[in-house]
Amino acid sequence: MSGQRTHDAAAPSTEVLVAGGGLVGLTAALVLRHHGVAVTVVERRRTTSPQPKARRCHVRSMEIFRELGLAGLVRDAARELAGHDHMAAGRTLAQAEQLPLWLPAGPAGPVSDISPELPCLLAQDALEPLLREAAVAAGATVRFGTELAGFGQDDDEVTAQILDVGSGRRERITARYLIAADGARSSVRAALGIGRSGRGVVGRPSVSVYFRADLADVVRGREFNLCQIDHPDAPGGLASVDGRRRWVFMSPGGTAGRDWPALLRTALGVPAPDLEVLSVLPWQAEMRVADRYSGGRVHLAGDAAHVMPPFAASGANTGIADVHNLGWKLAAVLRAEAAPALLDSYDAERRPAGWFAADQSSRRTRDLRGLAEGPDPALAHPLILAAGGFQYPAGALVPDPRRASDPEPVTEFSPAGRVGTRIPHRWLDQARTQSTIDLAGLGWALVTGIKARPDADRPDVDRPDAGRADPDRPNAHRLDACRLHADFLPAGQCLLLRPDHIIAWRGADPAAAASVLAALLHPQSAPSATAEDAARSGGGISPLPATRPG
Ligand SMILES: Cc1cc2nc3c(=O)[nH]c(=O)nc-3n(C[C@H](O)[C@H](O)[C@H](O)COP(=O)(O)OP(=O)(O)OC[C@H]3O[C@@H](n4cnc5c(N)ncnc54)[C@H](O)[C@@H]3O)c2cc1C
């Protein structure tokens, strides 16, 4: 691929075009702006999601929002459901009892303090407007009511045709890269001819009925995240959207011949005179993962790359991690600090991670729905999904030869700073404001282990380079050095931390780190799909296959 930019003179240009302004596309815009990349998002709908859909932000997503400076905003927006972490169960809502709070267990008891951020419950229809506003404030161009209608690519750029949904006006836009965050029925994926593999349909069809009813008095004192209703005429799961007036009832079966207000009142066990059904959404849990995450200059992210049953609350969270992984790599390539072949590591890392999340979500569904024949020995510890515990097998990292004998376990949660995993969280100060997760972010960090300090009042970390960005290139991929005492890093050992908090290398010689970093940023060029993908688009713009609006 040439590093030179050649533009269609008539077309406005951007560095990265994002198709789809859902939760993943908007997060992609934020990550790219964080790294100083010019980005345009086009979203077919005129508004953000009207459906609550995903509600749980795992700690790993909160860590990403922390890096983007958004964790406080997200937490504030989530305060309505703060403390609604319990499950509840009963014949009807009126009879339901709150169940004891379940905490994931580790070898030494309940696991806590795994992250500088707590998870939170915030429905997608409340999170997306916040992300949209933040992306615009960060300088992204965000165009709702605008559809990607077709695209083509060559060695240098992507040329897209976009359609103003209201006026029907079409225009061209060029970009160095395209991120397809266009959802499960991704027409970009279809245009690239990328198939999907996986278990396919998992479990039975369900219907999510989104409704309004003032139930604050009914639930007061036994607030819940999800309440399992086992009334024989109205079984299902009642999810809190704001914990007072907005709810989603997930009912097994189809929509035909069902009187939803009557069924909901049976499940609630109270008259709920103000009950109003807002939408009825039939869905079928599926596990399907794209066979390639990249096609030349186009990269799939979020549901476009993977769909999974919702019972591990991992669909949206996995998509957020996708674009966090892709963002710094695109920035490094666009700034010519890395070779384009670095982008091959996106597929090498995120496709196995997507497969793992989708497979585990399917296993969780079978476990929860009683479809499994017995305990599933491969069911991962819940924090592996929630705290980004998946170990990348290959990619922009130097595999540790010990991986074969000492891989990151999945049935228990015991992060130990292995290569290909997120750095374990440890507080860096007694006030608990700074975490090891904060050691990287815009740039890379070289972390060297030191012995514990005898003076307990001083933090066990030195960060001489922290915050010393080059004023002329504030988003350059720099290497900060720091010294740290931590249980997972013996004195004298060092590790190289990527901008996405992933450990890329461990070794004993800090002087080797710069050459390791250079080699990671300039990998041997793998065979590129660009020629094939450009040939598929015939060098010009191919219209996208029609899909139903999501
Ligand atoms: C009932 C339900 C419950 C769920 N619960 C959870 C949960 O608890 N936790 C969790 O993590 N996940 C959950 N999910 C999954 C989660 O909602 C999805 O994983 C998430 O929405 C994926 O985000 P996305 O941005 O990739 O795709 P989407 O949200 O589908 O966004 C894609 C966007 O692209 C737009 N688009 C499509 N084509 C074009 C085009 N050509 N041009 C411009 N725009 C286009 C669409 O209009 C859409 O807005 C749930 C899903 C459902 C249905």
Q: What is the pLDDT of residues 380-425, one digit of tens each?
A: 998 999 998 899 999 999 998 887 888 999 999 889 999 999 999 9
The predicted structure's pLDDT at residue 368: 63
Residues in contact with 115: Cβ distance below 8 Å, sequence separation at least 6, in sequence order: 59, 60, 62, 63, 387, 425, 435, 437
Residues in contact with 59: Cβ distance below 8 Å, sequence separation at least 6, in sequence order: 114, 115, 117, 118, 119, 386, 387
CA of 523 to the centre of ligand 1 (A): 33
Choose between 454 and 492: higher pLDDT. Answer: 492
For ligand 1, atom 15, name the residue with the nearest CA: 315
- State percent of the chain over pLDDT 70: 88
CA of 23 to the centre of ligand 1 (A): 7
Highest mean pLDDT among 6-20, 288-302, 427-441: 288-302
> Mean pLDDT across the chain, nearest whole number?
89
For ligand 1, atom 41, name the residue with the nearest CA: 148
The predicted structure's pLDDT at residue 6: 46
Nearest by Cα to 494 from 425, 419, 433: 419
Spell 93-119 as b/e; 16+ CB within 10 A means b: beebebbeeeebeeeeeebeebbbbeb
Ligand 1 pocket test, pick from 42, 53, 322 with the greatest ligand atom count within 8 Å of Cβ, gives 53
CA distance 25 to 20: 5
Q: What is the mean pLDDT of residues 228-239?
A: 96
Using DSSP bridges, classify how beta strands 109-110 and 105-106 pair: parallel, antiparallel or unpaired: antiparallel
CB 396 within 8 A of CB 345: yes
CA of 188 to the centre of ligand 1 (A): 15
CA of 81 to the centre of ligand 1 (A): 21
Residue type, 105: A
| Ligand 1 environment, Cβ below 6 A | 19-25, 42-45, 53-56, 124, 147-148, 181-183, 187, 208, 283, 302-303, 310, 313-317, 319, 544, 549-550
Q: What is the mean pLDDT of residues 276-285?
A: 95
- Tell me the sheet residues that pair with 484: 449, 461
Which H or E run contains 208?
A: strand 206-212
Task: Using the predicted structure, report yes or no on whether residue 486 has a pLDDT greater than 80.
Answer: yes
Residues in contact with 343: Cβ distance below 8 Å, sequence separation at least 6, in sequence order: 294, 299, 326, 329, 330, 333
- From the number of C-beta atoms within 10 Å of its C-beta (0-12, 13-18, 19+), residue 280 rates as middle
Nearest atom, ligand 1, residue 45 CA: 47
The predicted structure's pLDDT at residue 459: 62
The predicted structure's pLDDT at residue 236: 95
Nearest atom, ligand 1, residue 318 CA: 11
- State percent of the chain over pLDDT 90: 72
Nearest by Cα to 494 from 484, 15, 502, 207: 484
Residues in contact with 46: Cβ distance below 8 Å, sequence separation at least 6, in sequence order: 144, 145, 165, 166
For ligand 1, atom 38, name the residue with the nearest CA: 182
Spell 499-513 as b/e; 16+ CB within 10 A means b: bbbbbbbbbeebeeb
Nearest by Cα to 24 from 183, 170, 160, 158: 183
Report the length, in residues, of the chain: 550
Q: What are residue 357's phi and psi, to 5 degrees?
A: -65, -40
For ligand 1, atom 37, name the residue with the nearest CA: 182
Side-chain half-sphere CA neighbours of 550 within 13 A: 20
The predicted structure's pLDDT at residue 402: 81
- What band does 550 get if pLDDT is binned at 50, 70 and 90? very low
CA of 309 to the centre of ligand 1 (A): 13
Which H or E run contains 298?
A: strand 298-300
CA of 74 to the centre of ligand 1 (A): 18
Q: What is the mean pLDDT of residues 529-539?
A: 57
100-140: per-residue pLDDT in tens? Answer: 877 766 666 666 789 999 999 999 999 999 999 999 999 99
CB 143 within 8 A of CB 20: no
Question: DSSP 3-state helix, strand, coil percentages of the chain (rounded to 5)?
Answer: 25, 25, 50
Nearest atom, ligand 1, residue 319 CA: 26
CA of 223 to the centre of ligand 1 (A): 27
Task: Using the predicted structure, report yes or no on whether residue 532 has a pLDDT greater than 80.
Answer: no
The predicted structure's pLDDT at residue 309: 93
For ligand 1, atom 31, name the residue with the nearest CA: 22
CA distance 201 to 366: 12
Residue/partner pairs of 469-474 with CB below 8 Å, 24 or more apart: 469/442, 469/443, 473/335, 474/36, 474/442
CA of 479 to the centre of ligand 1 (A): 35
The predicted structure's pLDDT at residue 4: 39
Ligand 1 pocket test, pick from 26, 42, 43, 74 with the greatest ligand atom count within 8 Å of Cβ, gives 43
Least confident piece of the model among 159-168, 313-322, 424-433: 424-433
Q: What are residue 427's phi and psi, to 5 degrees?
A: -70, 145
- Tell me the sheet residues that pair with 67: none
Q: What is the mean pLDDT of residues 246-263?
A: 93
CA of 208 to the centre of ligand 1 (A): 15
Nearest atom, ligand 1, residue 55 CA: 8
Q: What is the mean pLDDT of residues 323-348?
A: 97
281-315: per-residue pLDDT in tens? Answer: 999 999 999 999 999 999 999 999 999 999 888 99
The predicted structure's pLDDT at residue 539: 57
The predicted structure's pLDDT at residue 2: 37
CA of 347 to the centre of ligand 1 (A): 20
- What band does 3 get if pLDDT is binned at 50, 70 and 90? very low
**DSSP structure string for 530-541:** HHHHHHHTTTSP
Task: Using the predicted structure, report yes or no on whether residue 259 has a pLDDT greater than 80.
Answer: yes
Q: What is the mean pLDDT of residues 424-450?
A: 91
CB 434 within 8 A of CB 428: yes
Nearest atom, ligand 1, residue 317 CA: 11
Nearest atom, ligand 1, residue 313 CA: 9
CA of 303 to the centre of ligand 1 (A): 6
Nearest atom, ligand 1, residue 181 CA: 26
Task: Using the predicted structure, report yes or no on whether residue 511 has a pLDDT greater than 80.
Answer: yes
Task: Using the predicted structure, report yes or no on whether residue 527 has a pLDDT greater than 60.
Answer: no
